[in-house]
Amino acid sequence: METRRDFIKKSAIMGAVLCLPISLTHESQAAYPDLKTRNPKKALILWYSQTGQTRRYARLIGCILKGKDLTVDALDIQGIDKNILPDYDLIIIGTPVFYYDTPSNISEWLKTIPSIKGTPVAAFVSFGGPKGNQHNASCHLLKLLANKGGVPVGRDAFRNIASYPTPHWNSANQSSGQHLPNAATFGQVRRFTADVLERITSNETISIGYEPAMREGLRALPLVWMNKKAINKHTVDAQKCIGCGTCVSKCPTKAINPFKQIVDRDRCLACFGCLNNCPVDAVVMEYRGERLYGFPEYLKRNKITIIEPPEFSTCS
C-alpha cells in the first residue's frame, strides 16, 4: 500500500525526471544471443486484454501467421503455464497500455518466465492515446523478454478506442464517423507481422530505444494509488448481479468477490476490468462522487460497432 511519504518521495523524483527528459533516452545495445531459428514453425502469441482490443490484434497476427503455414497458439497470459514458452520458436506478446506503461501484473509475470534464450520475440501494445507513452510501454515489454534471452525482432503500438472509464466518456476517437480500429489499423498489424518474419529470415534484430517523453515522467507518480483515492465507492450491486463470475475471471489480483459484494482495495490495481466487463452494470464505482460506467455501455451510448478484420471470416 502506497503511503503519503512514498507519494511525496515519488513526486520529487518525478520533478527531477521531468527536468532531465533526455536522461530517459537509452538504447539497449546489449549483444543478443544468436537466433535459435531463421525459419520459425511454431509461434506463441500471448495477449492480455481487458476489453478485447489487444486480443483482436493478437488474433489477427495469429491468422496472418497461420496463412504463412506456421503452427500458432494464441493464448491469454492469465492462466497459462509459463513453462511452455521455451517450446516455441517465435513469441509475440501484446498488452494494453495502462497508466503510461505495461500493466504491472504483466511486467511482474514476465520477470518470472523461464529462459527463452535465442527465441525471436516481438511486442505490441494497444492504446487509447493519443499521448499515452505507448512507444516506451512496448519497449518495456520487449526489454522484459530480452532479459530472459529473447531476441527482439519487432515492436509496434496500435491505436484504439480508449477503455479508461470516466463519468463523461467522450467519443473523440470516433471523429468523422470513422471507428477505431479501422482498415489502417489492421494494415499496420499486417505490416508489423510481415516485418517480424522478414527480420527473422534476414537475421536482423532491433534495438530497444526508449523515447524521451514528458509522460514517461508521470510513471514516477503513484498513479494507481492516486486513482484509488479518487474512487470513493467500489462495490457490487447485489440486486443487479447475476453471479456470472466475469469480474472474478477478469480481475488480475483476485480483489473482487461479487458474492459478498467485497472489493479488496489493497489488492485492486484500478484496472477497471470488473466495471468494463460486467454484463449487467452491477459493478458500482464512483469517481469523486460520480458514478462510472463501463466500456460496453460507452459503446452502446455512442452507437459504436467495432469493425473486425476481414481475415476473421476465414480464420478460426
Ligand X SMILES: Cc1cc2nc3c(=O)[nH]c(=O)nc-3n(C[C@H](O)[C@H](O)[C@H](O)COP(=O)(O)O)c2cc1C
Q: Which residues bind ligand X (CB under 6 A)?
A: 49-55, 96-100, 126-129, 132, 134, 160-164, 271-272
Question: Is residue 74 a contact residue for ligand SF4 (CB under 6 A)?
Answer: no
Provide, rounded to whole angstroms, the least separation between the CB of residue 93 and ligand SF4: 20
Minimum distance between the CB of residue 188 and ligand X, rounded to whole angstroms?
14
Closest CA to 199 of 156, 152, 158: 152
Q: In whole angstroms, how close is the CB of 252 to ligand SF4 at the nearest point?
A: 6
CA distances from 161 to 137, 185, 186, 193 (A): 17, 12, 14, 22
- Lookup: cell for 32: 543478443
Using the minimum distance from each CB to ligand SF4, give the nearer residue, 122 or 274: 274
193 binds, among ligand X, ligand SF4, none (CB under 5 to 8 A by kind): none
Separation CA 24–CA 20 (nearest Å): 7
In degrees and rounded to multiples of 5, residue 143 shows phi and psi of -60, -40
Length of the chain: 316
Cell of 301: 451510448
- From start to end of 85-218, where are the E strands? 90-96, 120-127, 151-159, 208-209
Nearer to ligand X, 121 or 157 (CB): 157
User: Which CB, 1 or 22, lies closer to ligand SF4?
Assistant: 1
Strand partners, 285: 234
* Residue whose CB is less far from ligand X, 51 or 246: 51
Q: What is the DSSP string of 188-214?
A: HHHHHHHHHHHHHHTT----EEPPP-H
Q: Which residue sits closest to ligand X, CB atoms considered?
A: 132
Site string for ligand SF4, 199-238 (x = CB under 6 A): -------------------------------------x--
Residue 263 interacts with, from ligand X, ligand SF4, none (CB under 5-8 Å by kind): ligand SF4
**CB 10, CB 221: distance < 8 Å:** yes
- Window 238-277: residues binding ligand SF4 (CB under 6 A): 241-247, 250-253, 255-256, 258, 263, 268-274
CB of 126 to ligand X, least distance (A): 3
Nearer to ligand SF4, 179 or 228 (CB): 228
Q: For ligand X, give the closer residue by CB, 53 or 138.
A: 53
Q: How far is it, in rounded angstroms, from Cα 9 to Cα 218?
A: 13
Give, in degrees to the nearest 5, the angle at Cα 46 between 44 and 52: 135
Contacting residues toward ligand SF4, per CB under 6 A: 236, 241-247, 250-253, 255-256, 258, 263, 268-274, 278, 280, 282-283
